[in-house]
Amino acid sequence: MTAYLNACLVKAEALARKAHAGQVDKAGQPYFLHVETVSQRAGAIVQRWPAASPAFLLKAKIVGFLHDIVEDTDVTLSALRRYGVPSDCILAIERLTKSKEVSYQDYLARMKQNKLASVVKIADMTHNSDVTRLARVTEEDRIRQQKYCDAIEYLSDFTCERCRRAFPLAEMGEEVKDGKILCRGCQNQDGSFNMLLM
């Protein structure tokens, strides 16, 4: 499994580099540097979690590279499937892709139902809220920075729908069972916990 996901990570990096070629971020830097940073930061966040699986760590890095690809390039979810991106990574990328028809709060609420999407979005917003990357900071930048800080706080914890206890994101189970978000403990009791789910 790890060898397969390592190969997927190499392919994801190459695809992101090609798809974002010629794009620049708000700081005028090549856009690929942003997705590369998000991949690294998502991995760093997951590495601090004591019970994270090696598979989940690799998937977070894959999604980090591909988190903006559907929204900002002509690559589609179907193309990602054909490219061999794992299905749970594709689901996270779908959750990370903004739609004009969905409010920002609903967008975050959908993301919060997916641990992989949540951790990558936290890494993304952490990088996007770093105003030291900008030559000049405007009031709009400060407002956006506060919006991201609020969203990071919102995505950083959850309530288990079985035991009703509040937990940090690290304690969320890596699957959604019957549409319910469960803590790792409740998923383990349920027998549905499978960190290697593809």
Q: Return the minimum-mean-pLDDT range out of 70-74, 118-122, 178-182.
A: 178-182
Question: What is residue 30's DSSP assignment?
Answer: B
Region 150-169: mean pLDDT is 93
The 3-state secondary structure of the chain reads: CHHHHHHHHHHHHHHHHHHCCCCECCCCCEHHHHHHHHHHHHHHHHHCCCCCCHHHHHHHHHHHHHCCHHHHCCCCHHHHHHCCCCHHHHHHHHHHCCCCCCCHHHHHHHHHCCHHHHHHHHHHHHHHCCHHHCCCCCHHHHHHHHHHHHHHHHHCEEECCCCCCEEEHHHEEEEEECCEEEEHHHHHHHCCCCCCCC
Residue 144 pLDDT class (50, 70, 90 cuts): confident
Hey, what CATH class is 2-155 in? mainly alpha
pLDDT for the residue numbered 179: 66
Residues of the chain with CATH 1.10.3210.10: 2-155
Write the pLDDT tens digit of every residue in 14-52. Answer: 999 999 999 998 888 999 999 999 999 999 999 999 888
Is residue 195 over pLDDT 60? no
Region 52-59: mean pLDDT is 94
Is residue 160 over pLDDT 50? yes
